[in-house]
Amino acid sequence: MESVTIKDIAKRCNVAVSTVSRAINNHPDIKEETRRKIMQVIEENNYIPNNSAQNLKKSDSKTIGVIVKGVDNPLFAKVRSTLAESIARYGYDYYFQYIGISDNEIMEALRLAKEKRLRGIIFLGGNYNRTQEELEEIPVPFVMSTVTIDETVSKSLYSSVSVDSYKESYRMVDYLCSKGYKKIVLLAGSKGDESVGGLRLKGYRDALKANHISIDEKRICFSQDWAEDVFSMANGYRMTKKLMESGVDFDCVYAIADSIAIGACKALLENGKKIPQECGVAGFDGLDETLYYHPSITTIRQPMEKIAEETVRILFSRLHKGTKNRHRVFPCELIERESTMK
Amino acid sequence: MESVTIKDIAKRCNVAVSTVSRAINNHPDIKEETRRKIMQVIEENNYIPNNSAQNLKKSDSKTIGVIVKGVDNPLFAKVRSTLAESIARYGYDYYFQYIGISDNEIMEALRLAKEKRLRGIIFLGGNYNRTQEELEEIPVPFVMSTVTIDETVSKSLYSSVSVDSYKESYRMVDYLCSKGYKKIVLLAGSKGDESVGGLRLKGYRDALKANHISIDEKRICFSQDWAEDVFSMANGYRMTKKLMESGVDFDCVYAIADSIAIGACKALLENGKKIPQECGVAGFDGLDETLYYHPSITTIRQPMEKIAEETVRILFSRLHKGTKNRHRVFPCELIERESTMK
DNA sequence: TTGTACGCGTTATCAT
DNA sequence: ATGATAACGCGTACAA
């Protein structure tokens, strides 16, 4: 349990701790010979500097914190490397922190900012409505990536990179209408969802209106409130089963997330419905799964790589050039696949 | 950038820092009145204790570190909550650390153990062959969960919870044979894989032998060495496409991972092959996706919840009762689905 | 019940 | 080029 410290190394080398510190941190004024010897002793004794102590002492750190909300979001898993590489390209270190869906990301940010002396923070995911007051506490520049922030919060307080859920949802439904679908069911999120779920719902409503299709509230399926797994295949399956049992007439199912769409497909196919001949299906997000499903599923692809890169770019532009906070919205790509190609 | 410290709080309350510390850590000997007042000031000033300083000072911590290798592994995403709850049940804190697939988990463990004064460590994922020497450096009890360790490493050094990849793979192929499949293709991992990939391959070979089916090496497809995404749908798709182009005759495809199996299904279906009538398909792992795929895919389900619970149980039995290191192997469940039900 | 003072492991600022 | 030493923010004996 006794771990070896910088003092032990110093003693074993017959030098002062400050010399060891210099060796570790590649300081210029140290003889190459002593440096090598110290590094060798460090190696032999498996010495690892205590990062807590380092951070406690350091004033300047050159590290960016990335707070990811939702380990299980497959959309984020792929972004990790892109973010890491982009940050490294600026010569900064990064520190990823994955937190649970119900954890408070702001608290986590404050904690990390102190602990690791962060220069900037990137938030990935999490749609909770944070107040202006909370956001103001964060002492370093930060970018909300694919996070929806309440409209009442001043835009000058933070940067953001995201997609326009409303517009893209509108586009998808408009497309479905153009394909001749008249009775489009929406598999929505929870009833009170003011975030992406709500926005995509609004896009659905407005697009139908624009296409002169009257909205049948029976065709809007909300997830059960108790369902913690709203964005899951299981939920899509459940909702679609229930829909079919209810006897509501429909010719297309549009889910606000790909995972939900996959569950819906299963329920439809299981009941002998042919996709797309008897019922079209569309999702949202651009998960790989939609491409490999059979039939492949039409979706709206969020350009996650671009989003990640732009997130880092904005952060460093703010850090280095002192630019103001910016808000960038990326267009998505509507990918037409078999599930809607009658 | 100036963050508020315990001193600031003390000053604002006209008390000593130690009193503030007592208030924070729920110490008994402190007047309820002062406690409340201090907590209020803390609230008002958004004070958060610097965890680095705390850890530096503390000798005893009651926290378990969980090092997860592979954020993108859907199998692990689900385990998170189970592990967290199990650890909490013992009255311990936990600290999750997600690291990249190419990061060195041992280094990370050593770093964390120092920093957070960990009492124990759980490793989740990562199949790299670590040497005995490396493992010996870890100063606290640890459990390798679903990790394969080289046979040459002494079993007394660590605990482990896993499944028998060889046996389960054997079972699957044996089952496929019993269903009448004679020309079973294996979609394997990389050629040199000594870990799960290699074990599942061995199970395949031995099961065929036991069923008096001669092994045709052309029916064993290795992933390209350059493919970093070995366990991906894309890789399964690629391999199967290539297989069909090669003209090799087969009546069943068995993939060493569900994700690979899904890619294989897509390739087969795209080419007009009927599953399971013209070709059976089976995977390994028990991903939810296999249930929602159409047709649903036969697989070997790893009991991840049980594995997680047992992992924690073994760790604490070692921590509290001083038990020796144990190695637990859980049986999997062969789930027969549509993809092999002719 | 509360305050004072020391030390955790490290880096940075002085001297030497 | 190297050594001594003061912080960093906190918890905890010990004193009051």
3-state secondary structure B58-69: CCCCCEEEEEEE
Asked if strand C comes closer than 7 Å to A82 Cβ, the answer is no
* Each residue's pLDDT tens digit, A125-144: 877 678 899 999 999 999 99
Asked if strand C comes closer than 7 Å to A57 Cβ, the answer is yes
Testing the interface with B: which of A119, A292, A297 to mutate, by most B Cβ within 10 A?
A: A292
CB B58 within 8 A of CB B115: no
- Model pLDDT, residue B160: 96
Q: Kindly report the number of other CB atoms within 10 A of residue B87's CB atom.
A: 23
Query: At A316, is the pLDDT very low, low, confident or very high (cuts 50, 70, 90)?
Result: very high
Distance CA A241, CA A235 (A): 10
Residue nearest to nucleotide C11 (CA to C1'): A57
- Model pLDDT, residue B225: 73
Query: At B14, is the pLDDT very low, low, confident or very high (cuts 50, 70, 90)?
Result: very high
Query: At A34, is the pLDDT very low, low, confident or very high (cuts 50, 70, 90)?
Result: very high
Mean confidence (pLDDT) of chain A: 94
Give the pair of three-digit tokens for residue B109. 């463990």
- Model pLDDT, residue A128: 67
Contact A96 B96 (CB under 8 A): no
Q: Kindly report the number of other CB atoms within 10 A of residue A175's CB atom.
A: 18
CB B208 within 8 A of CB B242: no
In chain B, what is the greatest distance between 2 CA atoms, to the nearest angstrom? 85
Query: At A231, is the pLDDT very low, low, confident or very high (cuts 50, 70, 90)?
Result: very high
Query: At B58, is the pLDDT very low, low, confident or very high (cuts 50, 70, 90)?
Result: confident
What percent of chain B has a predicted confidence (pLDDT) above 90?
A: 81
Q: Is A119 helix (H, G, I), strand (E, B) or coil?
A: coil
What percent of chain B has a predicted confidence (pLDDT) above 70?
A: 98
Q: Considering the entire predicted model, what is its pTM?
A: 0.93
Distance CA B264, CA B241 (A): 8
- Model pLDDT, residue A192: 84
CB B144 within 8 A of CB B159: yes
Highest average pLDDT, of A276-285, B73-82, B227-236, comes from A276-285
Segment among A198-207, A257-266, B9-18 with least mean pLDDT: B9-18
- Model pLDDT, residue B329: 97
Mean confidence (pLDDT) of chain B: 93
Show Cβ contacts of residue B331 under 8 Å, excluding neighbours closer than 6 positions.
Answer: B163, B164, B168, B303
Asked whether the predicted pLDDT for residue B1 surpasses 70, the reply is no
Distance CA B280, CA A125 (A): 39
Distance CA A43, CA B117 (A): 22
- Model pLDDT, residue A227: 65
Query: At A186, is the pLDDT very low, low, confident or very high (cuts 50, 70, 90)?
Result: very high
CB A191 within 8 A of CB A227: no
Contact B56 A52 (CB under 8 A): yes
Alpha carbon of residue A155 to chain centroid: 20
DSSP B89-134: HTT-EEEEEEE-TTS-HHHHHHHHHHHHT-SEEEEES------HHH
- What SS3 string covers A170-235? HHHHHHHHHCCCCCEEEECCCCCCCCHHHHHHHHHHHHHHHCCCCCCHHHEECCCCCCCCCCCHHH
Looking at residues A76-100, what average pLDDT do you find?
93
Query: At A59, is the pLDDT very low, low, confident or very high (cuts 50, 70, 90)?
Result: confident
* Each residue's pLDDT tens digit, B191-241: 988 888 999 999 999 999 999 999 999 999 999 877 678 999 999 999 999
Query: At A1, is the pLDDT very low, low, confident or very high (cuts 50, 70, 90)?
Result: low
Testing the interface with B: which of A87, A239, A294, A338 to mutate, by most B Cβ within 10 A?
A: A294
What is the per-residue burial (b if ≥16 Cβ within 10 Å, else e) of B1-22? eeeebbebbbebbebeeebbbb
Query: At B28, is the pLDDT very low, low, confident or very high (cuts 50, 70, 90)?
Result: confident
Asked if strand D comes closer than 7 Å to B335 Cβ, the answer is no
Q: How far apart are the first and last CA of chain B?
A: 67
Q: How far apart are the first and last CA of chain A?
A: 67
What percent of chain A has a predicted confidence (pLDDT) above 70?
A: 99
- Model pLDDT, residue A28: 87
Looking at residues A291-295, what average pLDDT do you find?
97
Among the listed residues B136, B144, B135, B93, the one whose alpha carbon sits nearest the alpha carbon of residue B118: B93
Distance CA A196, CA A194 (A): 7
Among the listed residues A149, A151, A215, A156, the one whose alpha carbon sits nearest the alpha carbon of residue A182: A215
- Model pLDDT, residue B148: 84
Query: At B342, is the pLDDT very low, low, confident or very high (cuts 50, 70, 90)?
Result: confident
Testing the interface with B: which of A4, A8, A52, A112 to mutate, by most B Cβ within 10 A?
A: A52
Among the listed residues A146, A182, A3, the one whose alpha carbon sits nearest the alpha carbon of residue B112: A3
Show Cβ contacts of residue A135 under 8 Å, excluding neighbours closer than 6 positions.
Answer: A106, A149, A153, A157, A158
Asked if strand D comes closer than 7 Å to A291 Cβ, the answer is no
DSSP count for chain A of H helices, then E strands: 14, 12
Measure, in angstroms, how far nucleotide D8 C1' is from residue B50 CA: 11
CB A86 within 8 A of CB A142: no
Which residue is closest to A77 within chain B, CA to CA?
B72
Alpha carbon of residue A159 to chain centroid: 15
Asked whether the predicted pLDDT for residue B38 surpasses 70, the reply is yes
Which bases of strand C sit closer than 7 A to a protein CB? 1-5, 7-13
Q: In DSSP terms, which residues pair with A330 in a beta bridge? A: A163
- Model pLDDT, residue B231: 92
- Model pLDDT, residue B229: 86
Nucleotide nearest to A48 (CA to C1'): C9
- What SS3 string covers B65-88? EEEEECCCCHHHHCHHHHHHHHHH
Can you say whether the dihedral through the CA atoms of A330, A104, B311, B56 is positive or negative?
positive
Which bases of strand D sit closer than 7 A to a protein CB? 1-5, 7-13
- Model pLDDT, residue B227: 65
Q: Is A64 helix (H, G, I), strand (E, B) or coil?
A: strand
Query: At B280, is the pLDDT very low, low, confident or very high (cuts 50, 70, 90)?
Result: very high
In chain A, DSSP assigns E strands to 63-69, 93-99, 120-124, 142-145, 159-163, 184-187, 220-221, 252-255, 280-282, 299-301, 327-330, 333-335
Measure, in angstroms, how far nucleotide C5 C1' is from residue B19 CA: 14
- Model pLDDT, residue A275: 97
Q: Which residues numbered 19-58 in chain B sit less than 7 A from strand C, measured from CB? A: 19, 22, 29-31, 33-34, 53, 56-57
Alpha carbon of residue A324 to chain centroid: 23
